[in-house]
A and B are shown apart, each in its own frame.
Chain A
Amino acid sequence: MQDNLAVGLGEYKISHTVSDVLVAYGLGSCVGIGLYDPQLRLAGLLHAVLPSSPNGAVEKSAKYVTSGIELLLEEMIKAGAVPSRIIVRMAGGANMLTAPGFAHTFNIGTRNVEAAHETLQRLRLRLVAEEVGGTIGRTVRFYVRDGRMTIRTVGNQEREV
């Protein structure tokens, strides 16, 4: 038996219950970033919407990739995780509108992914796998049992990142 724990827009959740699966449903330009401490079997998944706060770092929010990763890492450390052990998997960051004339949303997915790469590097967190970009939505599952991440797209089977 497995229990799906939904991680909503602008949220993160952590779990060390091995039967739990953290799920971010229907990611478009949003990114799902999973942190995993294999020794503790502690997993955390962030569902971030935008790269960073537009008016500087006013308030730390899980809505943003930059502050979201920081908040999730803090929460993981509080629960006993050791940063040097943590591995990261990531999926999402699609560009849903590619037609000309939508420049305002055009590259938000790409910018989310770039913000994640920068933040992970700054925090010295090790990214081991990712499936990002493209023009399709994805549901992301992050398994507490072994830190596996899978994605599902419309009309396709679940597959590993």
Chain B
Amino acid sequence: MDEEYAKHFQTVLANMANIGIRNAARGMSAMVGEDLTVTMPTVKAVPFYEIPTLLGGPETEAVGIYLRVEGAIPGQIMMVIPYPKALELADLTMGEPPGTTKHLGPMERSALAELGNLTGSFFLNAIADKAGLAARPSPPAVIVDMVGAIMDVILATADVLSEEVLMVQAKFLRNGRETQADFWLIPDHHTIETIAKQIEAKNAG
């Protein structure tokens, strides 16, 4: 891939992710039964090994919601939320006043899993529509542990240690309450080719 094309490719991916995250917010709104808006979604490529630092260091306690993506564009989606933020997000999802959730029991984990599931599905649907490629997520897995241990899950499947992955950052707003969520998109190696080919075909057509 030459540099100009790589840049173009990244822009296209960023646009797709942008549409995906807005779509995901609609899914979340439907789930919580109230209007949930997304502000300032940003998409950028970051080296994988920098992720733990961005999340406060590899030893920071966090919650990971993990989806394996199957279909025409296989890959992985990981949503990582620092632990205190995850408690806020659980309150927000379950419609509780802020500060209600003190720890993540089975109920709260299940709510977060559902949130990740919905977000992931809506996100994938948007990308699938845009690129004309079908994909579906696995049931979500919720991991509560150190950031480093959570990110190991991705490395176990895809050898991306020295590569760049897509980071999507978005702020979710509901009734003046705001929670930030970060997603990491890690396409399998041949998925990049599949999407690139599809884009090329669309450009040519």
Q: Nearest A residue to B59 by beta-carbon distance?
A: A25
Q: How far in angstroms is the closest Cβ of chain A from B2?
A: 26
Interface residues of A (CB under 8 A from B): 8-10, 25-30, 49-50, 54, 63, 94, 96-97, 99, 101-102, 104-105, 108, 136-139, 152, 154-155
Q: Is the CB of A63 within 8 A of B161?
A: yes
List, in ascending order, chain B residues with CB within 8 A of A26's CB. Answer: 52, 57-60, 145-149, 151
A30 and B152 contacting across the interface, CB-CB below 8 Å? yes
Q: Min CB distance, A154 to chain B, in Å? A: 5
With a cutoff of 8 Å between Cβ atoms, the chain A residues found around residue B156 in the complex are 29, 50, 96, 104-105, 108
Please provide the chain B residues from 55 to 105 with a CB less than 8 Å away from any CB of chain A in the complex: 57-61, 66, 68
Return the contact of B139 from the options A9, A25, A101, A155 (Cβ within 8 A).
Answer: A101
Q: Which of B60, B139, B148 has the most A CB atoms < 10 Å from its CB?
A: B148
B192 at interface by CB-CB < 8 Å = no
Interface size on B, residues (CB 8 A): 28
How far apart are the CA atoms of A152 and B149 in the complex, in Å?
Answer: 12
Min Cβ gap B185→A in Å is 17
The proximity string for B residues 91-125 relative to A, scoring 1 for CB distances below 8 Å and 0 otherwise, is 00000000000000000000000000000000000
Q: List 17 A-B contacts (CB under 8 A).
A: A8-B49, A9-B148, A9-B161, A25-B57, A25-B59, A26-B60, A26-B147, A28-B153, A29-B156, A30-B155, A94-B149, A96-B152, A102-B141, A104-B157, A137-B150, A139-B148, A154-B61
Give CA–CA (A100, B126) in the complex, Å.
Answer: 27
* B141 & A136 in contact (Cβ 8 Å cutoff): no
Q: Which residues of A contact B146 (CB under 8 A)?
A: 25-26, 28, 137, 139, 154
Known contacts A28-B148, A29-B156, A136-B145; 15 additional CB pairs below 8 A are A9-B148, A9-B161, A27-B149, A28-B152, A29-B149, A30-B155, A50-B155, A96-B150, A97-B141, A97-B143, A101-B68, A101-B139, A138-B149, A139-B59, A154-B144
Name which residue of chain B comes closest to A99, CB basis: B141
Cβ contacts under 8 Å, B152 to chain A:
27-30, 49, 96, 137
- Residue in A closest to B148 when the chains form the complex, CB atoms: A26
- Point out the residues of chain B lying under 8 angstroms from A63, CB to CB: 159, 161
CB contacts (< 8 Å) of A10 on chain B: these are 161
- Residue in chain B with minimal CB distance to A98: B141
Given the contacts A9-B49, A97-B143, A28 and B149 also touching, CB distance less than 8 Å: yes
Q: Which A residue's beta carbon lies closest to that of B138?
A: A101
Task: Please tell me if the beta carbons of B148 and A102 are within 8 angstroms of each other in the complex.
Answer: no
B152, closest chain A residue (CB): A28
Contact of A25 among B138, B148, B161 (CB under 8 A): B148
Point out the residues of chain B lying under 8 angstroms from A154, CB to CB.
61, 144-146
Shortest CB-to-CB span from A58 to chain B, Å, is: 12
Measured between alpha carbons, how far is A9 from B139 in the docked complex, in Å? 28
